[in-house]
Amino acid sequence: METTLGDAAARQAAADLVAGLPAAPAAWCTGLRKRYGKRVAVQDVSLQVGRGEVVGLLGPNGAGKTTVIKMLLGLVRPDAGEVMLLGRPATDPAARVRVGYLPELFRYQPWLTAAEVLALHDRLAGVGVPVAEQRECLALVGLAERAGDRLGGFSKGMQQRLGLAVALVARPEFVVLDEPTSALDPLGRADVRDIVLSLRERGVAVLLNSHLIGEVERVCDRVVILNSGRVAASGTLAELLGQREVHLHLTDLNPAAEERLAAVGLVERAGEWSTVALPADDPGTAIPDLVRDLVALGTRVHAVEPTRISLEERLLGILRDGAGEQR
């Protein structure tokens, strides 16, 4: 009897402990490896997508991005490694109940209508989304008018929009978008960006694989860069891009002004040019405040050039370094 009571208490304690833990990441994988014949497609890839986080997956063609995504979703069997989705091992299909997926190769049954495809995916997910909500999903991607049309007559762009609706229909907590804008016009791309941002607002995690670096830079919290099947770099945009800095052409620099410069961050001087590192958490006020104060201190400001390397430059740098190391 005592042991039973002890067990109950221990179970309660364990339950309390688990309840107190932060929610498991939306996706987590470690040591993923995949080989097709002699070619190693993915080697020792580990990554994590936190709840409500938007993570971008970048890399050149053939870097293994789509293979990693397919291994996360159980579509490709990894040779080694472990995957957890929303706190469950991915080998259990139930782990994918709250996962939405838009494949790079988006094709849906051409003999079904758009509304029927959404109903089918809702049934397969077992979520039981009401028809009205399914229609809202179609409206969100701009297909409300075509709900009753068979997909046989849909253009590529419309099929990709439908694919986005399919990924979103079963109230997902984690959405995987593999090249979601490859067939879309600029307007469609803007729509996708808005949808990703609204997902993040609602706390839905997103893994976004895209060639459009600008797109990734605008919506992603973190970026994982793959090259030749390995993680070449990963981190927040600020971490990856390094600190921003500002070049200033100044004359009549007095000690008080120098002190004011040093208060912002590390200063490098080269003749009349000063380079000041900006704090990582700068909300955009550091430069105007600095210029205002320098002018007030009697310094003459000839030029102000804020610089930041773009994600594109950084990506190319990482890939070239990687290529250099391999040689």
Partner 1 sequence: MTGTARTVLTIAALTLREASRRKVLRALAALTLTLLVLSGWGFSRLAAESDFGSLTSGETRLVASQLLNLVMFGISLIAALGTAFLAGPTVSGESESGIALAMLARPVRRSAVLLGKWLGLVAFGSGFLVLAGLAQCLVVLVTVDYWPPQPVAALALLAAQTVVLLTLGLLLSTVISPMASGVVAVGLFGATWIAGVVGGVGAALGNEGVERVGAVSRMLLPTDGLWRGAMHAFQDPAALAQFGAEMAGFPFLSEAPLTATYLGWAALWVAMVWGLAAVSFRRKDL
Residues that bind partner 1 (CB under 8 A): 70, 73-77, 93-97, 99, 101-103, 105-109, 111-112, 120-121, 123-126, 163, 166-167, 176
CB of 125 to partner 1, least distance (A): 5
Nearer to partner 1, 84 or 102 (CB): 102
Nearest to 177 by CA among 186, 164, 187: 164
CB of 200 to partner 1, least distance (A): 21
Residue 305 backbone phi and psi in degrees, to 5: -125, 95
Scanning 27-78, the segments in alpha helix (DSSP H) are 65-72
CB of 292 to partner 1, least distance (A): 54
CB of 45 to partner 1, least distance (A): 16
CB of 162 to partner 1, least distance (A): 10
CB of 205 to partner 1, least distance (A): 16
Q: How far apart are CA 276 and CA 264, in angstroms?
A: 7
Residue 143 backbone phi and psi in degrees, to 5: -115, 20
DSSP strands (E only) in 54-98: 54-58, 80-85, 88-89
Residue 257 makes CB contacts below 8 A (sequence gap 6+) with 250, 294, 297, 298, 299
Q: How far apart are CA 48 and CA 144, in angstroms?
A: 35
Residue 142 backbone phi and psi in degrees, to 5: 80, 25
Taking the CA atoms of residue 101, residue 102, residue 103 and residue 109 in that order, the dihedral angle to the nearest 10 degrees is 100
